[in-house]
Amino acid sequence: VNGPKVAVNSNNFAVSWFTVSNGKPTVNLSFSKSNGNSFGSPLKINDHNAIGRIDVTFLNDQEVIVSYIEVDDVGTYLRIKKVSIDGIISAPITIDGGRNTGVPQLEIFNNEIFIVWTVFTDEKNQLKSVKLNSENL
């Protein structure tokens, strides 16, 4: 459920992973501009206590979208952020709430971002999805 995710675009790699260090759950992201021979320092993605369930995909040559789940004082949220290969991290976009969210999957097709995940509702697993225009992020 909380394994690392890797995205590749030409010579650029993006690796995102969930970890807990010193009791702090964190979603990290690191880029390589050298076919994976070396990576930059990890960037912290989450703003609150992360649960993980991450995914990452390249939006274009210079940016990725990272999805993750985190918990704040109010609730649990599936969120995405756009991150540039130069380390610029966007504000979070909340996609859905609730801890019963499965493991979201990201895909980019024709400049549209598709996010699909499972939820357990009415004693059944169901799929939910969101489509976002990447130009509006």
Banded pLDDT at 97 (limits 50, 70, 90): confident
Quote the CA–CA distance of 114 and 111 in Å, as a whole number. Answer: 10
Quote the CA–CA distance of 86 and 99 in Å, as a whole number. Answer: 32
Answer whether 0.85 is exceeded by the pTM: yes
Per-residue burial over 81-112, b if 16 or more Cβ lie within 10 Å, else e, is bbbebeeeeeebbebbeeeebbbbebebeeee
Quote the CA–CA distance of 99 and 38 in Å, as a whole number. Answer: 35
Banded pLDDT at 43 (limits 50, 70, 90): very high
Average pLDDT over residues 18-27: 96
- Asked whether the beta carbons of 91 and 113 are under 8 A apart, the reply is no
Indicate whether 34 pLDDT > 90: yes
pLDDT tens profile 100-126: 788 899 999 998 999 999 988 888 888
Banded pLDDT at 135 (limits 50, 70, 90): confident
pLDDT tens profile 47-66: 999 999 999 999 999 999 99
pLDDT at 1: 67
